[in-house]
């Protein structure tokens, strides 16, 4: 009687339970970083999908995704309203729009699972559901520009499962998470055979991940050298005011002059409140001083191309010559505005930003500075693991410049640092992050944070890094092996469903 009552209660409150599970899942990510929740919460959703109709599964999946992104990306409101100065209603609309789009992926996954996968069993729990989850997260990471935030694998940055990152990237870690979640369901709902299989699968996944974490996939190449990451901590709402411009220029020059002689000095994204051509005398004088002290600079700047009448968000490396990298992954409604002309006119009247940045070329060579080749990314480009693969054959160090001032004292900077740690681990390279107001950090090739600046204070984070060469398995193959494995696992689930249906018809 108790199981029937429990089943009835679950059915009655399925959507609310899924919403709570999604909200709790956000705590698996930084800064809370309760990584077991990254497994337990998907397991709870899998259990809520057990015995659900396609419509019920869709609702539960949507509720889970809504809970995850409402709790995990609330900071979008801060960026759009508090610092972007957009009306509160517009900020809420954009935030809820993104939440709804992201939640729809989880809802669709639940609907497909109820319609096309076996109702229960090892194939569903340990193969098909994990494979489908990985494919869903991969899809939402690139479709319509993609938003790979809060992918399950990122929650495991400090668990043994992170050892899979150099082998198959974050999607391999996600697969391990969901296999573990499926094992929990098998222990709760399966018979003896399913339970034994679940225990064996869990031991293999976790022990294998821990063993892989100890393997040195890349090799140190050359001696350590000094770096300094300049965090100006100029508030976003003050940075572009005319009366504060000279103070910001003086601040970055003063902080940089204090560490001249450091081999590599890195500034944040769009560090200066001017376009590149407006700062030529300022930058030229700083470049001369830096070269005299054997320092190379990497500076985040906005640049206007007069010939083509285009704006770029770039990084310039000032070494023996100036070399540029232009941001490829632009932020919708932050750096480009997919809206009709009439809406742009309204944005102009409301004093909202309305000018599109232009994305850089997909294939750009590494920057050259401090005698190294640098794999560069700007802002949330470090959320895309595959974006850096093209330069890893040459790059000996990864550099990310970010403007986190848009997000205030929220979880966003912590989440982004967690993703950057995966990029270092996937590549087997040191990664240095210079941010506007935190979290500036030096990340080792194994994903550990060696040094970290305080948030919201002007600070220069000094330390040393070492160049690395060699390619991890992930750097050689990218996401395709994990995606192919996930497709095979899902195909086995689809085949099992058809086989069972055929058996029922035959009887």
Q: Which residues are catalytic?
A: 269, 327, 379
Query: What pLDDT is attached to residue 1?
Result: 39
Q: State whether residue 56 is helix, strand or coil.
A: helix
Backbone torsions φ then ψ of 370, nearest 5 degrees: 55, 30
Q: What whole-number distance in Å separates Cα of residue 380 and Cα of residue 148?
A: 10
Closest CA to 133 of 472, 505, 489, 506: 489
Q: Which residue has the tokens 């809520």?
A: 48
Q: What whole-number distance in Å separates Cα of residue 32 and Cα of residue 18?
A: 20
Summarize pLDDT for 88-137 with one digit per residue, the tens: 888 899 899 999 999 999 999 999 999 999 988 999 999 999 999 999 99
Tokens of 346: 């309204």
Is the separation of the CB atoms in 462 and 255 below 8 Å?
no
- CATH homologous superfamily of domain 219-471? Carbon-nitrogen hydrolase (3.60.110.10)
Burial of 392 from C-beta contacts in 10 A (0-12 / 13-18 / 19+): buried
Which residues of the chain fall below pLDDT 50? 1-2, 349, 351
3-state SS, 96-111, equals: HHHHHHHHHHHHHHHH
Q: What whole-number distance in Å separates Cα of residue 170 and Cα of residue 177?
A: 10
Q: State whether residue 313 is helix, strand or coil.
A: strand
Is the separation of the CB atoms in 168 and 383 below 8 Å?
no
Q: What percent of the chain has pLDDT over 70?
A: 92
Q: What whole-number distance in Å separates Cα of residue 339 and Cα of residue 24?
A: 34
Is the separation of the CB atoms in 121 and 496 below 8 Å?
yes
Query: What pLDDT is attached to residue 354?
Result: 55
End-to-end CA distance of the chain: 31
Report in angstroms the alpha-carbon separations of 180 from 161, 174, 176, 200: 10, 10, 6, 11
Q: What whole-number distance in Å separates Cα of residue 77 and Cα of residue 487?
A: 36
Read off the pTM.
0.92
* Domain edges within the chain: 9-216, 219-471
Is the separation of the CB atoms in 430 and 461 below 8 Å?
no
Query: What pLDDT is attached to residue 343?
Result: 62
Is the separation of the CB atoms in 458 and 267 below 8 Å?
no
Closest CA to 40 of 25, 27, 30: 25
Backbone torsions φ then ψ of 375, nearest 5 degrees: -85, 110
The 8-class DSSP code of residue 70 comes to H
DSSP string over 340-378: -HHHHHHHHHTT---PPP-PPPSS-PPEEETTEEEEEEE
The residues, any chain, with a CB within 8 Å of residue 219's CB and separated by 6 or more, are: 468, 469, 470
Q: pLDDT averaged over the chain?
A: 91
Q: How many CA atoms lie within 13 A of 73 on its CB side?
A: 26
Closest CA to 48 of 7, 88, 96, 94: 7
Query: What pLDDT is attached to residue 57?
Result: 97
Q: What whole-number distance in Å separates Cα of residue 190 and Cα of residue 188?
A: 6
From the CB of residue 291, how many other CB atoms can be counted at a distance below 10 Å?
15
Q: What whole-number distance in Å separates Cα of residue 156 and Cα of residue 159?
A: 5
Rounding to the nearest 10 degrees, give the CA dihedral for residues 185, 188, 194, 195. Answer: 110
The residues, any chain, with a CB within 8 Å of residue 469's CB and separated by 6 or more, are: 218, 219, 221, 396
């Amino acid at each position: 009687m108790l199981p029937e009552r429990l089943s009835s209660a679950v059915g009655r409150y399925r959507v609310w339970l899924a919403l709570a599970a999604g909200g709790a899942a956000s705590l698996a990510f930084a800064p809370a970083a309760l990584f077991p929740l990254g497994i337990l919460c998907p397991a709870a959703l899998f259990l809520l999908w057990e015995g659900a109709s396609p419509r019920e599964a869709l609702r539960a999946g949507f509720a889970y995704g809504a809970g995850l992104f409402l709790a995990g990306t609330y900071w979008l409101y801060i960026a759009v309203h508090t610092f972007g100065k957009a009306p509160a209603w517009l900020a809420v609309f954009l935030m809820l729009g993104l939440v709804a789009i992201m939640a729809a992926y989880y809802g669709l996954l639940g609907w497909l699972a109820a319609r096309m996968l076996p109702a229960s069993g090892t194939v569903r729990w340990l193969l098909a559901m994990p494979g489908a989850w990985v494919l869903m997260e991969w899809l939402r990471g690139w479709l319509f520009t993609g938003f790979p935030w809060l992918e399950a694998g990122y929650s495991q940055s400090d668990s043994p499962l992170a050892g899979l990152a150099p082998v198959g990237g974050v999607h391999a870690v996600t697969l391990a998470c969901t296999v573990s979640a499926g094992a929990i369901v098998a222990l709760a709902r399966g018979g003896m055979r399913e339970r034994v299989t679940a225990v064996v699968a869990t031991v293999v996944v976790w022990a294998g991940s821990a063993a892989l974490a100890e393997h040195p996939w890349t090799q140190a190449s050359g001696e350590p050298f000094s770096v300094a990451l300049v965090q100006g901590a100029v508030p976003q709402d003050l940075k572009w005011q005319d009366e504060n411009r000279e103070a910001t220029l003086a601040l970055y020059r003063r902080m940089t002059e204090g560490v001249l002689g450091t081999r590599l000095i890195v500034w944040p994204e769009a560090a200066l409140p001017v376009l590149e051509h407006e700062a030529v005398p300022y930058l030229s004088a700083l470049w001369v001083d830096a070269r005299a002290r054997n320092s190379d600079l990497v500076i985040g700047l906005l640049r206007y191309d007069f010939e083509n009448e285009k704006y770029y968000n770039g990084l310039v490396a000032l070494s023996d010559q100036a070399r540029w990298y232009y941001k490829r992954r632009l932020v919708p409604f932050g750096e480009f505005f997919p809206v009709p002309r009439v809406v742009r006119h309204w944005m102009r009247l409301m004093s909202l930003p309305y000018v599109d940045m232009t994305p850089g070329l997909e294939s750009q060579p590494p920057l050259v500075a401090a005698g190294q080749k640098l794999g560069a990314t700007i802002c949330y480009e470090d959320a895309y693991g595959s974006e850096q693969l093209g330069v890893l054959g040459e790059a000996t160090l990864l550099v990310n410049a970010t403007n986190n001032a848009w997000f205030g004292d929220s979880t966003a900077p912590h989440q982004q640092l967690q993703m950057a740690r995966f990029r270092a681990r996937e590549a087997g390279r040191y990664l240095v992050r210079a941010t506007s107001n935190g979290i500036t950090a030096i990340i080792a090739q194994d994903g550990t944070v060696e040094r970290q600046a305080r948030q919201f204070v002007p600070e220069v984070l000094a330390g040393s890094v070492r160049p690395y060469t060699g390619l991890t398995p992930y750097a050689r193959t990218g996401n395709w092996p994990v995606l192919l494995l996930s497709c095979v696992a899902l195909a086995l689930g689809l085949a099992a469903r058809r086989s069972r249906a055929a058996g029922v018809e035959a009887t």
